[in-house]
Amino acid sequence: MTAAAPRPIVVAEEVLRARAYLLRVAEPSALHTGRLVDLLGPVAAADAIRRGDVPERVADETSARRGADRVDADLAAAADCGARLVVPEDPDWPQWPFACFGLTDKKELAPPLGLWVRGTGSLADLTDRAVAMVGARAASGYGTHTAAELGAGLAAAGQTVVSGAAIGIDGAAHRGALAGGGPTIAVLACGLDRAYPTSHAGLIDRVARQGLVVSEYPPGAVPARHRFLVRNRLIAALSVGTVVVEAALRSGAQRTASDARELGTVLMAVPGPVTSAASAGCHELIRQGALLVTRAEEITEATGRLGVELAREPERPQRRTDVLDETQARVHDALPPRAARDIAWLAVEAGLEQDTVRSALVELERRGLAEFHEGRWQRSVGGGG
Amino acid sequence: MTAAAPRPIVVAEEVLRARAYLLRVAEPSALHTGRLVDLLGPVAAADAIRRGDVPERVADETSARRGADRVDADLAAAADCGARLVVPEDPDWPQWPFACFGLTDKKELAPPLGLWVRGTGSLADLTDRAVAMVGARAASGYGTHTAAELGAGLAAAGQTVVSGAAIGIDGAAHRGALAGGGPTIAVLACGLDRAYPTSHAGLIDRVARQGLVVSEYPPGAVPARHRFLVRNRLIAALSVGTVVVEAALRSGAQRTASDARELGTVLMAVPGPVTSAASAGCHELIRQGALLVTRAEEITEATGRLGVELAREPERPQRRTDVLDETQARVHDALPPRAARDIAWLAVEAGLEQDTVRSALVELERRGLAEFHEGRWQRSVGGGG
């Protein structure tokens, strides 16, 4: 929409180039390569990997591609599709969301070595209180409707929706957020010069204009099944909480859910009919402790700043008899809807003293809930409920 | 079905008559009357109430009707409709389920002073591991279908279904249990000589033949709103756990749920579409800590004898690639579905050493997941998924 303002150069060129090289040679999630970078810095770590002079576990992650030095080509291809490289040395790095990686030692849950980013917004800003929404590709009409509603509600509450741009729930979540006027982030499992799935090319372009498209894979990288699973950890990590909208019992969405749990973020799931296989994974997650959510407000309550956003109480039906005290309600219940009765009869029926019944009837009459006819009482028409 | 075997007389006639009198004069739930009975025994307590010589709180519960001595008429009317009076002095009293009343001091949750029972089965036996199933009168097709399925499943597992014979979820639960060949218990909010709702007269008769119809209200007592709420505590108390199938946000079913919680029994709820107001109460209960259940096995697991019944794991879809280790799966993912590639290409794509790729391919070929053509490899048709 708006043209990108020129970004101040804040990261040294050699750091950026080293990170671009690392993203090309180390297939994510590359735990040991990341540790070497933490130890030596990106420039020295990249040099060591190029030379093959690294510990065996780093070699396992990098030796197959360490000769593939395509830094210039990758940076040029990224620029061609409007993408930039955001690295941990950049103030725009989502430092705070990614702190969650510190909670786990699992090698499939290592932080990314950098992120290719398409879109003009700030990654750090847009991932403040972001919510991941994931779910089945084979979603039902109910699932896509619900994902779109929740996406729009979160956008209205000022929360970024993070998802994976897939067919089904992902697409509906992005579309809902866009329709709600909010930014949304699509995390891809391929290079940003590709649109996958192809049928979502237009959607991905709209996401890039109104939010961000993100990937740790270099330009040209093709989507592969393990990349979808590895990518899912980024969707979870970029968000304060993850909402699973529809998921079969064994699905990528459940994998994202387990990542969210392992990374210590809030795990939520939307229920559905117990007769729908598409909701079975959500129900299993709730049985295992995920928070059941039905409305965007409930998601905001669970992921918002503590004490600031609280879900409004859902509206409850009101009845004219709600204001009655226990004795009055009992007398009202005893009043026949069609026939009129005397106080002695009502006292027996309600199990109360005649004096008590008499004063309750006065109050019921005042409220238009009882009528007096020739020495007998009956319930007012329309005064029940 | 089978004619009632003559029941041995185990309760003294004067005790039975005293309890029949107490059930007539004290509108449930009558906490203080119950305490007087515990203190003096039923015969002396009934005499004291008849004389009006009782503490004020007992008088509040009994003075309106203490002159209504209709013991003979009530016993005769009960016999006319095939009902008997079961009292705490009877071995058939559900002593163990009713122990839950000891957990609360709430005056609306007092134990019954006796129970009118229609049907030949043993109340004590049939309430061993019974499950209450309650829900909206204005149930959806989804709700009644699910209640019937769960009722049948519980019956098949040998668990009695307890409900309130109302239109909607209650009726579906009873019907499901009957269809499943199991006994079911209907707890009414009126005398057993009445059928309420009238349209369920046939259903109530079938429940009496295959299970039990129960009420603490004497013959002739009419249903009144407070009686439905008071009756709900018995549905909860007669059961190890309560399942709410569909409930609006403010409903009698939610009252039964809060009784179940207060009485320390297991509270369960069935989810549904978030777009359905009929499921909103269930979702609220789950958010407040009720166990989400989707199948009868899950209910049995939560209410069965500890460690004896455990829900089978739901069936998960199986894939031919499930048996692959991580390396093999990565090579399989790298194999293009349509084009063939050489090992060098696959090594880069998979991010693995060529030797590793070569041995993975041998294993994939053995499993029929990869094919070798003129020096190149491709994925087998039908071998993915």
Contact across the interface for A145 and B275, Cβ inside 8 Å: yes
Nearest CA in chain A to B221: A349
**Residue A292 to residue B292, Cβ atoms within 8 A:** yes
* Residue B309 DSSP one-character state: -
**CB contact B59 to A (< 8 Å):** no
The tens digit of pLDDT for each residue in B39-49 reads: 999 999 999 99
pLDDT at B383 exceeding the cut of 60:
no
ipTM reported for the complex, 2 dp: 0.81
Please list every residue in chain A whose beta carbon sits closer than 8 Å to the beta carbon of residue B68.
Answer: 348
CB interface of A with B, residues 10-29, below 8 Å = 26-27
A329: contact with B, CB 8 A cutoff? yes
Tell me whether A65 touches chain B (CB under 8 Å).
Answer: yes
> Least CB-CB distance to A272: which of B224, B249, B271?
B271
Contacts of A270 in chain B (CB under 8 A): 274
Q: List the beta bridge partners of residue B115.
A: B86
* Assigned CATH for B320-379: 1.10.10.10
Question: Could A292 and B291 be called an inter-chain contact, meaning their C-beta atoms sit closer than 8 Å?
Answer: no
Q: Is B225 an interface residue toward A (CB < 8 Å)?
A: yes
Q: What's the mean pLDDT in B208-218?
A: 97
Instruction: Say whether A351 and B291 touch across the interface (CB within 8 A).
Output: no
A347 touches chain B (CB under 8 A): yes
List Cβ neighbours of A290 (8 Å cut-off, separation of 6 or more): A244, A257, A267, A268, A269, A282
Judge whether residue A222 has pLDDT over 70: yes
Q: Residue B52: pLDDT above 80?
A: yes
Whether A1 has a pLDDT exceeding 70, the answer reads: no
| CB–CB contact B329 A274 (8 Å) | no
**Mean pLDDT confidence for B75-82:** 96
Mean pLDDT of A171-178: 98
**Residue of A262, A268, A253, A218 lying closest to A109 (CA atoms):** A262
d(CA A61, CA A39): 16
CA distances from B203 to A168, A241, A338, B176, B211 (A): 44, 48, 27, 11, 11
Residue with tokens 């994931």: A134
DSSP assigned state of A345: H
Mean pLDDT, all residues of chain B: 91
User: B248 and chain A: CB distance < 8 Å anywhere?
Assistant: yes
Helix H or strand E encompassing B162: strand B161-163
DSSP class per residue in A243-301: EE-S--SSSHHHHHHHHHHHTTPEEEE----TT-HHHHHHHHHHHTTPEE--SHHHHHH
What is the band of B264 on the pLDDT scale with cuts at 50, 70, 90?
very high
Interface contact flag, A27 B351, Cβ < 8 Å? yes
B270/A274 Cβ within 8 A: yes
Q: What is the 3-state secondary structure (H, E, C) of A293-334?
A: CCCHHHHHHHHCCCCCCCCCCCCCCCCHHHHCCHHHHHHHHH
Torsions phi, psi for B346 (to 5 deg): -65, -35
Burial-class residue B150 by CB neighbours within 10 Å (0-12, 13-18, 19+). buried
Measured between beta carbons, the chain A residues lying within 8 angstroms of B224 are 330, 333-334, 349
Provide the token pair at B276: 């359905």
Of A145, A314, A333, the CB nearest to B225: A333
Q: How far is A125 from chain B (nearest CA, A)?
A: 31
Min Cα distance A233 → chain B (Å) is 17
Find the closest chain B residue to A290 by CA distance: B287
Asked if the Cβ–Cβ distance from B348 to A298 is below 8 Å, we say no
Q: What is the pLDDT of residue B326?
A: 82
Q: Tell me how far CA of residue B217 lies from CA of A316, A349, B199, B226, in angstroms.
A: 31, 12, 20, 12
Interface membership of A345 toward B (CB under 8 Å): no
- Distance from C-alpha of B179 to C-alpha of B176, rounded to nearest angstrom: 5
Cβ-Cβ contacts under 8 Å, A314 against chain B: 249, 280, 284
User: Which phi and psi angles does A269 have, rounded to 5°?
Assistant: -145, 145
Using 50, 70 and 90 to split pLDDT, how confident is the model at B210?
A: very high
A344: closest chain B residue by CA: B64
Per DSSP bridges, beta strands B266-269 and B241-244 are parallel
Cβ atoms of A364 and A374 within 8 Å: the answer is no
A77-303: what CATH class?
alpha beta
For the purposes of burial, counting CB atoms within 10 Å of the CB of A327, is it exposed (0-12), middle (13-18) or buried (19 or more)?
Answer: middle
- Taking alpha carbons only, the member of A205, A276, A218, A279 closest to residue A247 is A279
CA distance B166 to B172: 9
Establish if B352 touches chain A: CB-CB under 8 angstroms: yes
pLDDT tier, A385 (very low <50, low <70, confident <90, very high otherwise) = very low
In DSSP terms, A267 is beta-bridged to: A242
How far is residue A161's CA from residue A203's CA, in Å, rounded to a whole number? 14
Residues A209-226: what's their mean pLDDT? 93
Q: Which two tokens stand for residue B19?
A: 């309890």
Output Rg (C-alpha) for chain B, integer angstroms: 30
> In chain B, how many H helices and how many E strands?
17, 11
Q: Are A183 and A212 in contact (CB under 8 A)?
A: yes
Query: Domain map of chain B by residue range?
Result: 9-69, 77-303, 320-379
Which residues have C-beta within 8 Å of that of residue B355, sequence separation ≥ 6?
A: none
Q: Provide the β-strand partners of residue A128.
A: none
Q: pLDDT digit string (tens) for A230-272?
A: 999 999 999 999 999 999 998 888 889 999 999 999 999 999 9
**Region of poorest pLDDT, from B52-61, B250-259, B282-291:** B250-259
Range A310-315 contact pairs with CB under 8 angstroms and sequence separation of 24 or more: A314/B249, A314/B280, A314/B284, A315/B249
Strand partners of residue B131: B161, B241
Task: Look at residue B96 and tell me whether its pLDDT is greater than 60.
Answer: yes
Please report residues of B whose CB lies closer than 8 A to that of A291: 287
Inter-chain residue contact B316 with A249, CB threshold 8 Å: yes
Q: Is the CB of residue A341 less than 8 Å away from at least one CB of chain B?
A: no
Contacts of A253 (CB under 8 A, 6+ apart): A134, A135, A136, A169, A244, A246, A247, A281
Percentage of residues of chain A with pLDDT beyond 70: 93
* Tokens found for residue B365: 């070929």
Q: Does B295 touch chain A (CB under 8 A)?
A: yes
What is d(CA A69, CA A22) in angstroms, rounded to the nearest whole number?
Answer: 10
SS3 track for A156-204 = HCCCCEEECCCCCHHHHHHHHHHHCCCCEEEECCCCCCCCCCHHHHHHH
Provide, as residue numbers in chain B, all residues whose Cβ is less than 8 Å from the Cβ of A287.
Answer: 291-292, 298
Question: pLDDT over 90 for what percent of chain A?
Answer: 71
- B171 by DSSP, 3-state: which? helix
Asked if A335 and A376 touch (Cβ cutoff 8 Å), the reply is no
**CA B143 – CA A274 distance, rounded (Å):** 10
